[in-house]
Amino acid sequence: MSTGQYVREDDIERVGKTEGAGDLNLIVAISGKVLYNSAMSIRLKPVDLLSLLFLALLSAIAVLFFHRIPHGGWLLTRYGMLIAAIALLAWYATNSNTGKPGRRLYLYLPVFIVPVIFDSLGDMIPWLWSGYFDDALIRVDYALFGVHPTVWMERFIRPLLTTALQFAYISYYPMAIVLAATLAIKGKDEEFDEAVFGIILCFYLSYLGYILAPAVGPRYALAHLQTQGLEAGPMVVAIQETLNALENTKTDAFPSGHTAVAVVTLFYAWKTKEKLLAAVLLPTVTALICSTVYLRYHYVIDVVAGVLLAVTTLALAPATRRWLSSSGRPAQH
């Protein structure tokens, strides 16, 4: 399929003749045409198109604030590589000669895409705002409770409780993978696609929250008010230090993505009639929600926003998936 089917020849000529800021915008616009029409020539799943749309949004933000972001070029390169990976794997997986390993890799592509996108936010968000929203969130919590919840919860701190809640907190990503793997192994293809789409949509909506209202959370903003440590054992300390070291994005308090993704995962476990998994997830998700404040990762208002985000995700997911399903059909040429 020739380039001429996607882009006019005069567009290509203009790239070589124009200079300055307009040149970058023109290149982005032409690249968008090529990517969109190329995507339409292969069979893309709704979750693929969702990821492409979100990557396009992040790319647009990166271009808009390019003059502020120190590593804007590397940021755009990462997004371009992710877009290419999605398109290539979608094409490869739908090829009749592709074996099972290739198709399985394609199925679990979001498992790799989501962490890379999340990590990239740490190279963007700090340069979009002159300050963070922690003060506002702290005031909301204090207005609601008359105390700082993380400080008030010090009375419940016990080493065993800290350990249990830390493991509950880090379970939110594995629980989504376990649900997806369970559905895939059982051959519940439609349920798999529906659940994965809803969970990924929840991730991306939470990322929008981080961009619109960045906050670092009480573990940093209220550290000077805490009078007692969490009494964490060596293993929990190692987990916390590893998470801190790996987490490039620190402004991810509002809304609580852990809460939102966990609630959405629990919902799909129930909806897909995975009763045993749902029974295990119910207490795990409950403990996870408690852990967000106990471990000082989130304000209470973050958790409330996380629950609302989960409800919003579940309301939007069916119609959004139907719309993207129709958009993902191969174009006829």
Segment 267-313, tens digit of pLDDT? 999 999 999 999 999 999 999 999 999 999 999 999 999 999 999 99
**Burial class of residue 14 in the structure, from the number of CB atoms within 10 Å of its CB (0-12 exposed, 13-18 middle, 19+ buried):** middle
Q: Is residue 31 part of a domain?
A: no
Stretches in the chain below the pLDDT threshold 50: 1-21, 39, 331-333
In a domain, 8, yes or no: no
Residue 256 contacts residue 302 (beta carbons within 8 Å): yes
Q: Is 296 within the bounds of a domain? A: yes
pLDDT at position 35: 55
CA angle 94, 99, 102 (to 5 degrees): 70
Query: Residue 227 in contact with residue 138, Cβ under 8 Å?
Result: no
Q: Is residue 22 assigned to a domain?
A: no
pLDDT at residue number 329: 56
CA atoms within 13 A of residue 204's CA, in its CB half-sphere: 23
**Letter for the amino acid at 38?**
S
Tens-digit pLDDT profile for residues 23-44: 556 555 655 555 555 545 577 8
**Distance, CA of 118 to CA of 139 (rounded, Å):** 27
Tell me what pLDDT residue 5 has.
39
On whether residue 36 sits in a domain, the answer given is no
Residue-range definition of the domain harbouring residue 310: 42-327
The tally of domains found in the chain comes to 1
In a domain, 11, yes or no: no
Measured between alpha carbons, how far is 257 from 259 in angstroms, rounded to an integer? 5
Whether 26 is in a domain gets the answer no
What type of residue sits at position 149? P
130 with 214: CB under 8 angstroms? no
Would residue 13 count as lying in a domain? no
